[in-house]
């Protein structure tokens, strides 16, 4: 499977450096290494979800407990989480660090991913969620740190879009 | 059985728990008995109270956490039962007040009024301890037992579809949220 192990490790190490201790996740191809690394790490709590919106509640609980968390999801999972984001994270000012695999964008071969790809950024903008891209090895670590810093200081959801350029090797 | 009477029967037991409730009647009735800093009322995001309780319980495994859910909210996030069952934190208690109604928005009947069995769904999802209760006495006993047994428990409490006169209280959502977190941090520093 040509999901980049190197980039996954880079992202995982950056999350650890940000003191992330809980990760909620729903499997998707680009996230397989990240989920396995989380599962293998005794210092990390991995919560495998039935639906991504649960992760908003779990991250809120972690925040109340004083534990930093991250959410791993596909962009369709982000779309499935919108009410939780609006009527929990926004309403109650809960920091969320959302790592979203940006499927359905340039280079996508799976027809079923393409509609979600079209609407991901417009929906993020409509929700007023600050977002940036993880698209280069050189900048990924810094950008994760910056996203985590902004989420914590602004007490709001912040999104990082994991791009094909970083996550896929072929 | 009235929900507020159930809440009154366990009110003193809630003192040493972290309590997460759903919106509407449950939040207003618990506040009418007296707000405490260890109570968090999720006044929207239906379905996520149980997920919030799970997040708390996984991060604070020694802390008793009690989620006060409802049939309408739980039906919106049935997957949460499977996620709770998968990780089954020992000190998490999940109470579901089942009034077979979306009472806060006008009393529309939920699927439990037509035979959907939340106890059966919870059990089949893998929740290790599940009970349904129909009296205040049995409700109190079920919650008290759950607090002493150290195993994830879901308690379905069949209650009447009657709520308080008003749902909006004078506790602001953000005040509640910041107080709740500060309270938990103060517990950790003790």
Note the pLDDT of residue A151: 98
Provide φ and ψ at B132, rounded to 5°.
-115, 135
Note the pLDDT of residue A163: 98
Cα→Cα distances A160→A50, A79, A141, A150, Å: 22, 14, 12, 12
Residues A81, A85, A86, A88, Cα dihedral to 10°: 120
Range A5-167 has CATH code 3.40.50.970: yes
Q: Do B74 and B47 form a contact (C-beta atoms < 8 A)?
A: yes
**Share above pLDDT 90 across residues of chain B, in percent, rounded to a whole number:** 93
Note the pLDDT of residue B188: 83
Domain map (residue ranges) of chain A? 5-167
CB-CB under 8 Å, B60 with A57: no
Which residue range is the domain that position B113 belongs to? Answer: 3-188
| CA of A102 vs chain B CAs: smallest distance (Å) | 25
User: The pTM is what?
Assistant: 0.98
Note the pLDDT of residue B189: 80
Binding-site residues on chain B for chain A (CB distance < 8 A): 18, 20, 40, 42-45, 47-60, 77, 79-80, 82-83, 86-87, 173-174, 177, 180-181, 184-185, 188
Number of domains in chain B: 1
pLDDT for A1 beyond 90: no
CATH of the domain at B86: 3.40.50.970
Q: How is residue A91 annotated by DSSP?
A: T
Q: What is the pLDDT of residues B88-134, one digit of tens each?
A: 999 999 999 999 999 888 889 999 999 999 999 999 999 999 999 99
Residues A74, A75, A81, A82, Cα dihedral to 10°: 170
CB-CB under 8 Å, A58 with B43: no
Query: How many angstroms separate the CA atoms of B147 and B156, rounded?
Result: 15
What integer is the mean pLDDT of A3-26? 98
CB-CB under 8 Å, A66 with B55: no
pLDDT for A11 beyond 80: yes
pLDDT for B59 beyond 80: yes
Residues of chain A contacting B180 with CB distance shorter than 8 Å: 64
Check if the interface score ipTM surpasses 0.85: yes
Note the pLDDT of residue B104: 82
Strand partners, B95: B68, B155
């Amino acid at each position: 499977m040509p999901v980049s192990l190197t980039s996954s490790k880079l992202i995982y190490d950056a999350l650890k450096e940000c003191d992330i201790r809980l990760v909620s996740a729903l499997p998707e191809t680009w996230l397989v290494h990240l989920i396995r690394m989380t599962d293998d790490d005794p210092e990390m709590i991995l919560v495998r979800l039935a639906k991504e919106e649960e992760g908003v509640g779990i991250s809120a609980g972690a925040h109340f407990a004083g534990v930093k968390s991250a959410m791993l999801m596909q962009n369709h999972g982000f779309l499935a989480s919108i009410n939780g984001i609006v009527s929990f994270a926004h309403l109650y000012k809960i920091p969320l660090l959302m790592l979203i695999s940006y499927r359905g964008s340039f280079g996508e071969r799976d027809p079923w991913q393409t509609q979600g790809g079209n609407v991901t950024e417009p929906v993020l903008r409509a929700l007023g969620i600050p977002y940036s891209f993880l698209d280069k090895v050189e900048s990924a670590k810094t950008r994760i740190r910056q996203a985590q810093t902004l989420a914590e200081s602004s007490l709001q959801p912040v999104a990082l879009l994991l791009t094909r350029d970083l996550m896929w090797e072929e | 059985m009235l929900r507020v009477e159930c809440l009154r029967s366990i009110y003193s037991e809630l003192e040493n728990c972290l309590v997460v409730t759903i919106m509407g009647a449950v939040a207003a009735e618990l506040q009418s008995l007296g707000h405490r800093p260890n109570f968090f009322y999720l006044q929207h995001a239906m379905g996520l109270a149980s997920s919030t309780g799970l997040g708390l319980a996984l991060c604070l495994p020694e802390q008793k956490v009690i989620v006060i859910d409802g049939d309408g909210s739980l039906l919106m996030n049935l997957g949460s039962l499977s996620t709770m069952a998968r990780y089954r934190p020992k000190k998490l208690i999940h109470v579901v007040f089942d009034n077979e109604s979306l009472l806060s928005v006008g009393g529309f009947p939920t699927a439990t009024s037509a035979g959907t069995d939340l106890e059966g769904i919870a059990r089949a999802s893998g929740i290790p301890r599940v009970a349904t209760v129909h009296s205040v006495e049995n409700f109190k006993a079920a919650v008290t037992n759950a607090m002493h047994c150290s195993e994830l428990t879901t308690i379905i409490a069949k209650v009447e579809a009657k709520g308080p006169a008003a749902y909006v209280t004078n506790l602001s959502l953000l005040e509640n949220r910041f107080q709740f977190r500060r309270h938990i941090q103060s517990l950790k520093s003790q």
